[in-house]
Amino acid sequence: MSIKRWLLPLSLTLLGAPYAAQAADAPQYEVADFIRDDRFLSIRISPKGTYAAATVPRGDKTLLIVIKPGQQEPYGLVNFRESNTHVVDFWWVNDERILFTVGEKAGGLEQPVSYGEIWGTNADGSKQGLIAGARNAATGSRARGSGSRQASLQMLDTLQKEDDYVLVSTTPFNSGEIPYTSVERMNVYSGTRQPVTRAPARGASFTTDQKGQIRFAEGLNRDYKSVLYYRENDKADWQLINDESVSDVIVRALDFSADDQYAYLQTQEKTGPDSIMEFDVATKKMERIARDDLVDPAGLIYAIGKPHPIGVMFMDGKPRFEYFNEKSRDAQIHISLQQGFGGEFVIGGSFTEDGKQALLSSISDRNPGEIFLYNTETGKASLLMSRANWLDRKRLGEMRPILFTSRDGRKMEAFLTLPPGSDGKKMPLIVNPHGGPFGPKDEWGYALEPQLLAAHGYAVLQVNFRGSGGYGKEFTESGYKQWGGTMQDDLTDATQWAIREGVADPNRICIYGASYGGYASLMGVAKEPDLYKCAVGYVGVYDLGMLWGQGDISESSYGKDFLSYAVGKEGLDAGSPTKQVARIKVPVFLAAGGADVRAPQEQSEAMEKALKGAGKYVESLYYPTEGHGFAKEENNREYYARLLTFFHRYLGGRAPAVAPKTGSGKK
């Protein structure tokens, strides 16, 4: 069962007034409007509703603030002195105590990653400090000795009926093979831990039932294949439910029914999308209860004000819901909320301990998120605040789900964002492939870059090419060793669709992406030299051979295995933009970070050198301290100004209001 989260908005005085409509003649949106920090990240109420707490971004930090109703000033605060220090997640464990994790943005990741430590604070900010985990509480150093009880910790279950203890999963430091994880019962004040169970497989994650008992463990066998184990209660032995080495599919536990009589599992299928299975704990039989023709399940949906799931969500175009029992009161409430918010996507499930007040988030392609407080007894919802109240949805672009057929007959999903007020015809188009490439996917909803580009006059096409996640095992694996091959053809086919449909002006199309998307952009103008008018690669990979020797992927045995089956060692020159520059006819813009360990800056420098050596036009922007995605606001402001100026020059969209400083990026 997922960890319980209690949510309530912060003081409106502290975080600003709720969303207010903008004047029709308001100035056009600029870069700064889209790269501003959200007003808050997560907001949660204490179990008895005495306090609320929120994570709030502030520059290069994320703070934790506690508010007491009726007070304008913070009642408690967590704010580390060190820069690039973020409260990553937090949990109310009783009405006066919060546990939280701390991390930083580094290396190949854009979002802060927890150190594996659990910290604690009282609501008023007292008794604040490290509880347990990777760092020695006395010295501040991270202990990694094999004889130490220090380990990387993750919260597993807050145990709602207990005030002083939680369940945590622990991973011991081990420089050799993937270690065995364990579950421990931890005191929320002292951090003392008592063993509960050890996983039957390496690198396991756990699933608890509605009572907090550990019932499933999913890990890896000796061949690094997924295995799933089940047990009837905390005293029972583990039983093997699925072994990927035998079944050739992965099965994952999601949650339990309200009475714990059924578990809900997501299982891969050998062809087509994943299924949701209902697992009868008495008979151990599994029955398929939900499956879509095109997309994987996107997750379970939960009863409003209650902790148990009532159905499955699918993201086939816009969100769609299938209920276990559509006639149930819980399902009818959920359905009425979707209808009552005018087609926006309403997320529920966060609630006070008595279940009378539930937090609802309403989101859409033009709404980054509005928070409502819903009274489960009266059925009334009141607006509390907007995540980005300076944005007016009427002045943002519409995102349309589309389907097209690839040249080999596959049904493919993509998303088209149009500038506000446009008729969607003969537009300057930017094809925007996502990163990954294996696993990530684009979905309907608010997205920063498409909205920024749409605000400057461009249509944006995001394509879930083969290799993307969310469409089943076979769809993802069909992209293996297809760098520059069929994955690239899918992007070409989507671009041709936009031309045939009259969406794109064929003389004004560019391709732009980050990470793998940067690779696809440069490979796109090499493979289709007459289709695009320019290309932009952001923190991208351009020489496939360098993947085997530079960057963090090749540093681990798991990473090398990934490169073997997903990239291979054959035909790397033919699939590397650095080796295909003779075919490139259009201007190129490259941007990268010197601290990026996922796609090192050397990749961009090699691409730039190859282009210049062939007499091609290329611009570049490098920041020595940025990683795999720029974090500093001033760097993002300059990067996007340079990007929009580049597109304005070759596609004719609106230029940014403030011209960028040419060449201010440092190598």
pLDDT of amino acid 108: 41
**Pick from 68, 77, 113: which is nearest to 629 by CA?**
113
The 10 Å CB-count burial string (b at 16+, else e) for 602-628 is: bbbbbbbebbeeeebebbbbbbeebbb
pLDDT of amino acid 552: 80
C-alpha neighbours within 13 Å on the C-beta side of residue 53:
30
> Does the pTM exceed 0.75?
yes
Going by their DSSP bridges, the two strands 85-94 and 61-67 should be labelled as: parallel
How far is residue 209's CA from residue 27's CA, in Å, rounded to a whole number?
A: 52
Q: Please say whether the dihedral angle defined by the alpha carbons of residues 61, 67, 71 and 77, taken in this order, is positive or negative.
A: negative
Average pLDDT over residues 382-390: 83
pLDDT above 70 for 148: no
Lowest mean pLDDT across 434-438, 479-483, 568-572:
568-572
pLDDT of amino acid 558: 74
pLDDT band (50, 70, 90) for residue 134: low
pLDDT of amino acid 60: 81
pLDDT of amino acid 659: 52
| Amino acid (one-letter) located at 650 | Y
**Burial status of residue 422 (CB atoms within 10 A of its CB: 0-12, 13-18, 19 or more):** middle
pLDDT band (50, 70, 90) for residue 147: very low
pLDDT above 70 for 663: no
Average pLDDT over residues 319-347: 92
pLDDT band (50, 70, 90) for residue 530: very high
pLDDT of amino acid 186: 97
CATH numbers and ranges of domains, the chain = 397-651 (3.40.50.1820)
How far is residue 153's CA from residue 159's CA, in Å, rounded to a whole number?
A: 16
Lowest mean pLDDT across 99-113, 388-402, 606-620:
99-113
How far is residue 531's CA from residue 529's CA, in Å, rounded to a whole number?
A: 6
Average pLDDT over residues 3-16: 32
3-state secondary structure of 129: strand
Lowest mean pLDDT across 252-256, 327-331, 371-375:
371-375
pLDDT band (50, 70, 90) for residue 2: very low
pLDDT of amino acid 285: 94
pLDDT above 50 for 162: yes
Identify the bridge partners of residue 264 per DSSP, sorted by sequence position.
Answer: 255, 278
pLDDT of amino acid 174: 66
Average pLDDT over residues 623-635: 89
Reading across the β-sheet that carries 251-256, which strands appear in turn?
251-256, 262-267, 275-280, 286-290
What single-letter DSSP state applies at residue 553?
A: G
pLDDT band (50, 70, 90) for residue 142: very low
Tokens linked to 44: 């949660």
**Pick from 448, 342, 433: which is nearest to 396 by CA?**
448
| Amino acid (one-letter) located at 575 | G
pLDDT of amino acid 143: 39
pLDDT of amino acid 632: 85
pLDDT above 50 for 5: no
More reliable by pLDDT, 661 or 17 = 661
- Residue the block writes with tokens 């100035």: 27
Which of 6-15, 39-48, 78-87, 130-139 reaches the highest mean pLDDT? 78-87
pLDDT, tens digit, 9 for 90 and up, residues 420-460: 999 999 999 999 999 999 999 999 999 999 999 999 999 99
Tokens linked to 503: 């969406």
pLDDT of amino acid 229: 98
Tokens linked to 299: 């997750």
The answer to whether the beta carbons of residues 253 and 207 sit under 8 Å apart is yes
Average pLDDT over residues 535-547: 95
How far is residue 580's CA from residue 523's CA, in Å, rounded to a whole number?
A: 8
What single-letter DSSP state applies at residue 143?
A: P
pLDDT above 70 for 1: no
Tokens linked to 597: 């360990």
pLDDT above 50 for 369: yes
pLDDT of amino acid 633: 87
pLDDT above 80 for 111: no
Reading across the β-sheet that carries 193-208, which strands appear in turn?
151-157, 165-172, 180-187, 193-208, 214-220, 226-230, 239-243
How far is residue 530's CA from residue 527's CA, in Å, rounded to a whole number?
A: 9
pLDDT above 90 for 113: no
pLDDT of amino acid 150: 67
pLDDT above 50 for 8: no
The 10 Å CB-count burial string (b at 16+, else e) for 319-329 is: bebbbbeeeee
CA angle 108, 113, 118 (to 5 degrees): 160
User: For the chain, what percent of residues have pLDDT higher than 90?
Assistant: 67
**Pick from 433, 468, 462: which is nearest to 295 by CA?**
468
User: To the nearest whole number, what is the mean pLDDT of the chain?
Assistant: 88
3-state secondary structure of 316: strand
The answer to whether the beta carbons of residues 450 and 456 sit under 8 Å apart is no
Average pLDDT over residues 140-158: 63
pLDDT of amino acid 38: 78
C-alpha neighbours within 13 Å on the C-beta side of residue 68:
11
How far is residue 161's CA from residue 163's CA, in Å, rounded to a whole number?
A: 7
pLDDT above 80 for 214: yes
638 membership: H or E segment, kind and range: helix 633-651
pLDDT band (50, 70, 90) for residue 23: very low
Average pLDDT over residues 593-605: 93
The answer to whether the beta carbons of residues 467 and 480 sit under 8 Å apart is yes
C-alpha neighbours within 13 Å on the C-beta side of residue 547:
26
If one counts every other C-beta atom within 10 angstroms of the C-beta of residue 5, the result is: 18
| Amino acid (one-letter) located at 614 | A
The answer to whether the beta carbons of residues 99 and 90 sit under 8 Å apart is yes
Which of 5-14, 296-305, 343-352 reaches the highest mean pLDDT? 296-305
